[in-house]
Amino acid sequence: MCGIVGYVGVRSGLEVVMSGLRRLEYRGYDSGGVALVYEGRIASAKKAGKLANLDRELALHPLPDSSTAIGHTRWATHGAPNDRNAHPHLDSSGSIAVVHNGIIENIAEIRANLEAAGHEMVSETDTETVAHLLHEELKGTHDLAEAVRSVCRQLEGAFTLVIASGRHPDLVVGARRNSPLVVGRGKGENFLASDVSAFIEYTRDAIELGQDQVVSITPDEIVVTDFFGNPAETKDYYVDWDISAAEKGGYDWFMLKEIDEQPQDVADTLLGRHDASGALQLDEMRLSDDELREIDKIIVIACGTSFYAGLVAKYAIEHWTRIPCEVELASEFRYRDPIVDRSTLVVTISQSGETMDTLMAIRYARQQRAKVLSICNTNGSTIPRESDAVLYTHAGPEIAVASTKGFLAQVVACYLLGLYLAQIRGLKYGDEISRIMTDLETMPAAIQRVLDESEPVRQLAKELAGSKSFLFLGRHVGYPVALEGALKLKELAYLHAEGFAAGELKHGPIALVEEGVPVFIVVPPRGRDQVHEKVLSNIQEVRARGARTIVLVEDGDDSVVPYADELIRLPKVPTLLQPLVATVPLQIFACALATEMGHDVDQPRNLAKSVTVE
């Protein structure tokens, strides 16, 4: 949460920082602010609300031009989302400006000490305290990076800090602990940002910073140390996705564009997974086959939509590998004293690679000697860096806060992992794996068909825009699809929406059904006759109680027709792969309904894309 940008170089710092913030606004949009180094002092502006408010403020009260600048877009943690709490925060002399992402946990004591020493705070934020601490440190040194290191050594919790000082033209200093910060290496200019999308317009050469590092950028130099001033190791990488991937490309919403990109994302995530002999290979599988053969349990850990991808994984992994597989919410995992040891494979799933709940679960699992494999969409992010092995999804940058293409790519990666484990443990013959891979390779076309035939779903959303409550039912892999359909609607339309395992209906949720309530039901392919018949009964049960049934069912299955008020046809695909086609109409429905209701689809209220607090 919170997007941060820093720049030193030759361009207008304000322009670079504002354009970076626009690309990072998905990370938080409670307020925005910028600070520039100008004639030995800091010139700054900040405003509550989206960046458009800051734009207006800057038009009314222009800032002087400067080529050293920092900026921030906020997701509020400490203090209400108002002008006063917006970043940057300045020290009492007004010559040091700080932007921050994260939560500093020991701030109360530090703040009390500073106030006792005469510092007056004007905001309720932990960030402002850091500006005052830096003020104190800079009394003893002119070295800004050293002052930052000293402050970092006093802080506990999670923080990315980026600092500019009026006394230090052509210098921006950043620091990170448990929160993301990347460096962009330009020619005669350098950049800092929460993620690369903020600077790929200017450079694609990036540097991954490690945990507990401080970086100083000047136009011609990048110096990275640990918190004690020792030179630190970093990793250079090249950003290979195109700038257009981070732009709307003519769509009204990023979400619409990302929904439409799904056939390509699924194809890209499947690409290059065979070696010359046809055997499956996974990209950064730094665990040996022997290590993977010793595993006797898998625990999948994730949050939100990624958690639902994990639920799909359980069905596929257990079916293909016969290894017991649990799926757990990252925020619960380490607090329940889980049984984890060196023969446990912990699989984490995260689109952003920065989710703090997931990161903390990884650290806990590794302390218990478990091996951790992460499925992640963001190269260079913290989660893959802290894992033993990585399987990257290739969905490209996902900007809309509600995950769509990220989910489908994660589900594909889970299938690949399941098949890989089956391969190395000798549980499936090569031709069996190839058959499933061939099925997977037909999925982009199947998803494209769902997209091409989605107009009735949009119409239905318009019709149902007045409904107050929605239910989603599914069994087997249709159950996580139902959960995901409900989550999309909650996030985007701010409506009551619940997903249930269809079999649970009679144990309570059926009491929610009343005249006219829309109920989406994901019907399993006929291949699973037992489950199919049960779902058919569930449709009849809700319909008998007045529900308006919206039935997602494969082509050719007419058994549901008498009980369906609306039919959404899905291409015929193998049962385990059905989430890849069944989720798409639910994404489209939520997006269309929220649009109809006049909501901001890409930036729903109260949410942020990367949840970097616990």
What residues act catalytically?
Answer: 2, 609
- Which region holds residue 556: left if phi is over 0, alpha if psi is between -120 and 50, else beta? left
* Dihedral of the alpha carbons of 394, 400, 401, 402, in degrees to the nearest 10: -80
* DSSP-derived secondary structure for 348-391: EEESSS--HHHHHHHHHHHHTT-EEEEEES-TT-HHHHTSSEEE
Rounded Cα distance between 76 and 281, Å, is 42
Give the pair of three-digit tokens for residue 460: 């239905």
Contact 444, 302 (CB under 8 A): no
Contact 101, 128 (CB under 8 A): no
Cβ neighbours of residue 395 under 8 Å, at least 6 residues apart?
261, 265, 268, 269, 351, 377, 405, 406, 408, 409
Expressed in percent and rounded to 5, the helix, strand and coil fractions of the chain are 40, 25, 35
Contact 424, 540 (CB under 8 A): no
Rounded Cα distance between 54 and 214, Å, is 29
Instruction: List residues binding ligand AGP (CB under 6 A).
Output: 303-306, 350-352, 355, 358, 401-403, 491, 611
Which residue, among 556, 560, 557, has the nearest Cα to 519 in the 3D structure?
560
Q: CA distances (Å), 6 to each of 164, 536, 613, in order? A: 8, 57, 22
Contact 165, 145 (CB under 8 A): no
For 113-134, give one letter per residue: b (16+ CB within 10 A) or e. ebeeeebeeebebbbbbbbbbb
Least gap, CB of 398 to ligand AGP (angstroms): 8
Amino acid at 415: Y
> Residue 366: exposed, middle, or buried by beta-carbon count in 10 A (0-12, 13-18, 19+)?
middle
Least gap, CB of 358 to ligand AGP (angstroms): 5
Residue closer to ligand AGP by CB (options 31, 350) is 350
Contact 191, 202 (CB under 8 A): yes
Contact 7, 37 (CB under 8 A): no
Which residue, among 30, 33, 41, 39, has the nearest Cα to 14 in the 3D structure?
33
Nearest-5° angle of CA 243, CA 244, CA 245? Answer: 85
Least gap, CB of 304 to ligand AGP (angstroms): 2
Give the pair of three-digit tokens for residue 578: 């059905």
